[in-house]
Chains A and B, each alone.
Chain A
Amino acid sequence: MDAQLPALVIVVPLLAALLVPLAGRRAAWGLVALALLLAFAGCVRLLVRAHALPEGEAIRYALGGWAAPVGIEYVVDRLNALVLTMLSGVAFLVALWMRRSTAREIRPPAVTGYYSVFLLMAAGLMGITITGDVFNLYVFLEIASITAYVLIAMGRRRQALYAGYSYLILGSLGATFILLGIGHLYMATGTLAMADIAAVFAREPQLYDSSVIRTAFAFFTVGLALKMALFPLHGWQPGAYAEAPSATSVFLAATATKVSAYALYRVAFTVFGVRFLETGLPVVRDALLVMACSAIVVGPLLAIRQHDLKRLLAYSSVGQIGYVVLGLALHNADGLTGSFLHFWNHAAAKGALFCVAGALAYRAGTTQVAALKGLGRRAPLTAMLLTVAACSMVGVPLTAGFLTKWYLARGALEAGQWAVIPVLLASSLFTAVYAWRLLQLAWFADEDGPVAEDVPWSMRAPSLVLGAACLVLGVAPLALPVAQAAAEALL
């Protein structure tokens, strides 16, 4: 079975997604949790195996027994093993968390459908991460996106429908650009397997000067930037995160845009090669640097003005994706390490924060920021979770967020991009402003009246795991060697 793991981590959630509607309402949730637990275990095993391999090698799996240039290949190396573990781990925690939340937010007849689509989306996201074929990447990207549109539109308010629709339009636009990028790439190289394309580039370096290749890269960048909601292209994102059902918000915010960012890393480093960023089309690298920096500053600034907690967190995500992309623009070991750390750090922090928003929706039926007042007295554990996660977002030392900023700052200095340092500081300041507003309401604005019930343990425990991850990843940097190894493997 060990040899079959790369296929199994995708197939098991997929299989469960199809079994859930047949299994009926009672068994559905258990099936979801079991499938994602198995996938998580498989991903951890893949992570261990990928790190045991010597530098530059990867676990390869040929689907259907067709070898790489002809068939589709699944490749697990250090970078995507890291992303896969994050993905399946968060998916498993959200699956545990969502039972009571969906019972309150989704119409009972639609719950099994919701679970099924949720699993499909998890499988799609993992497929994007694991595939070694650019066209297969597009197909998985669309599976993950189409399911995301559905999961968003299932929100209670009618605004969810429009949010899902506008995400659909912009997401499909992005996907079309990516498809065009793949077409241009195929036109110039005549192959679709990532490793094969990279080999063509190594054989014919003059291709870097071809306008077809440059067009391809531009299409990839714009398309994936749309999908990951990088700053000027983030229009769909706040509405989608704010209006979606709580469980969707947690999962989307913790994973979805980061997987698109991973796809950009994969395309830029594995397919085009790091030399292309430096010599082939430096203007895209500079543009990404500018976009990432503006996202880092503007995201929290926009968040300060919001009254809805989920919308506030969504704008903060607009800023946080900037950290993930910044490493690509810096493309040195420390910068990449910082960004790769952020794959885990942000998933933990933003996942925990959206869990708080979900708890608020569960308990108070609203996600207005004002509903936070008195949280410290009524639900101290949830309030502590909010505190820890918010500190991690600000980048307080000893939390996970600090490590990200530390390594990104070191990477910026190394790359000679001094201007990035004030950007990081300003962003921390703005983040602190809205974080303080939340904490002040939660701990100090007391409310008279009876103490309401807290969320059930089935919701509290998984969110506390996410909160604990924020601390553990910061105090005992487990992820650091993994991220460093992934960064070195790419360069």
Chain B
Amino acid sequence: MRSTDSLIVRYIARRSVPFIQLYALYVLGHGEDGPGGGFQGGVIFASSFVLLGLANGWGYGRRAAPARLLDPLLPLGCLIYLGIGLAALLAGGAFLEYGALAGSDDPEVRRHWHHYGLIGIEVGVMVTVSAAMATLFFEMARPARVQARVDRVGEEADRA
């Protein structure tokens, strides 16, 4: 994927990235009481990198979201999810029983902690989903010359 030679498209794509990401966070925050949530927010977040890749070339987008950063984020988001579930378990509740995180039996406090737990796992979902979507795009759209370099490195590793 080459960079477009249109200044307008490149400029607008670059400038719109923070707005898209802000909107992704907005969607994430609204997941609890309306349409939205971690999955949708994550996809929107990833789309900002896809836009960069489309407008400014594969390499530009990949530098903004490098594999070095995304690959650890993939399991990390799930770990946030599982970690909150396990924390609830360690706090004496069932797995994923967020209310138990409060450490008190007051229903009001438990209700609050239930919300915190829910938002926490949504954040985890968002991290994984956005990393997965961006990785999917960049891996599938990888230009032939990059692919050739990756293959060469792989073969050298095989020989070693």
Contact = CB atoms under 8 A, between A and B. Distances in A.
Contact of A116 (B75, B85, B99, B157): B75
Interface stretch (A18-26, A257-265, A318-326): A18-26
A368 B85 CA distance: 48
Interface string A1-42: 000100110010011011111100000000000000000000
Contacts of B9: none
A64 interface: yes
A54 interface: no
- Mostly helix, strand, loop or mixed at chain B's interface? helix
A62 B93 CA distance: 10
Interface string A428-439: 000000000000
B79 A63 contact: no
B28 interface: no
Given A18-B78, A18-B79, A21-B74, A64 B94 contact: yes
Contacts, number: 58
A277 B75 CA distance: 44
A7 B86 CA distance: 10
A7 B89 contact: yes
Interface residues of B, number: 23
Contact of B75 (A8, A11, A18, A65): A18
Contacts of A109: 154, 157
B99 A107 contact: no
A63 B94 contact: yes
A64 B95 contact: yes
B100 interface: yes
A61 interface: yes
A108 interface: yes
Contact of B158 (A14, A62, A108): A108
A107 B158 contact: yes
Given A15-B79, A15-B82, A109-B157, A65 B99 contact: yes
- Mostly helix, strand, loop or mixed at chain A's interface? helix
Interface string A62-92: 1111000000000000000000000000000
B63 to A, nearest CB: 21
Interface string B87-114: 0010001111111100000000000000
A63 B98 CA distance: 11
A63 B157 CA distance: 44
A136 to B, nearest CB: 13
B143 interface: no
Given A64-B97, A108-B157, 4 more contacts: A7-B94, A21-B75, A62-B94, A64-B96
Interface of B: 71-72, 74-76, 78-79, 82, 85-86, 89, 93-100, 154, 157-158, 160
